[in-house]
Amino acid sequence: MRIIHRAGWAALGALLSAGCAMAAPPSYTAAQAGAGASLYTQQCAMCHGANLEGGAGPALAGSAFTSQGQTLGAVFNILSTQMPATQPGGLTHTQYEDLMAYILQKNGYPPGGAPLAYDQARSSTASLTPPGT
């Protein structure tokens, strides 16, 4: 399962590196990121590392994550349909929104005034490259 998971991320990165329309990442709130941090510890850290650095699952922060040229929508769709590995798609929409907000925060995207919405995240074409690049 680990090989399939990593291969899926690599394939997704290759497909998306061909070029996507640049869009600003959707807004999220600090409250969402805070809720996402707690949920991440409970549901994700065992595979993706306590600091999103990767482990059995791929890194979700830093250059190992942002250098793949993925879009927020692509990442969110994997997150919301394939995670957690023990219960794919088993969290609520709010929980997936909170997790994505936490991932954005850990990758240097500042919170905004509007919460991240499930449908907005699923369709986002924003590239997850380091902010300011």
Question: For 2-16, what is each residue's pLDDT tens digit?
Answer: 444 444 444 444 433
Is the per-residue pLDDT at 49 higher than 90?
Answer: yes
Is the per-residue pLDDT at 17 higher than 50?
Answer: no
What is the per-residue DSSP string for the chain? -HHHHHHHHHHHHHHHTT-----PPPP--HHHHHHHHHHHHHHTHHHH-TTS--SSS---SSHHHHTT--BHHHHHHHHHHH-STTSTT-S-HHHHHHHHHHHHHHTTPPP-SS---HHHHHH---B-SPTT-
| pLDDT confidence of residue 28 | 97
| pLDDT confidence of residue 2 | 40
pTM for this prediction? 0.81
| pLDDT confidence of residue 3 | 41
| pLDDT confidence of residue 133 | 64
Distance, CA of 61 to CA of 71 (rounded, Å):
14
| pLDDT confidence of residue 103 | 97
Tell me which of 53 and 8 has the higher pLDDT: 53
| pLDDT confidence of residue 130 | 72
Distance, CA of 127 to CA of 28 (rounded, Å):
16
CATH 3.90.1150.10 for domain 2-123, yes or no, is no
Work out the percent of the chain whose per-residue pLDDT is above 70.
Answer: 80
Tell me which of 92 and 20 has the higher pLDDT: 92
Lowest model confidence (mean pLDDT) among 23-37, 47-61, 97-111? 23-37
pLDDT confidence bin for 68, thresholds 50/70/90: confident
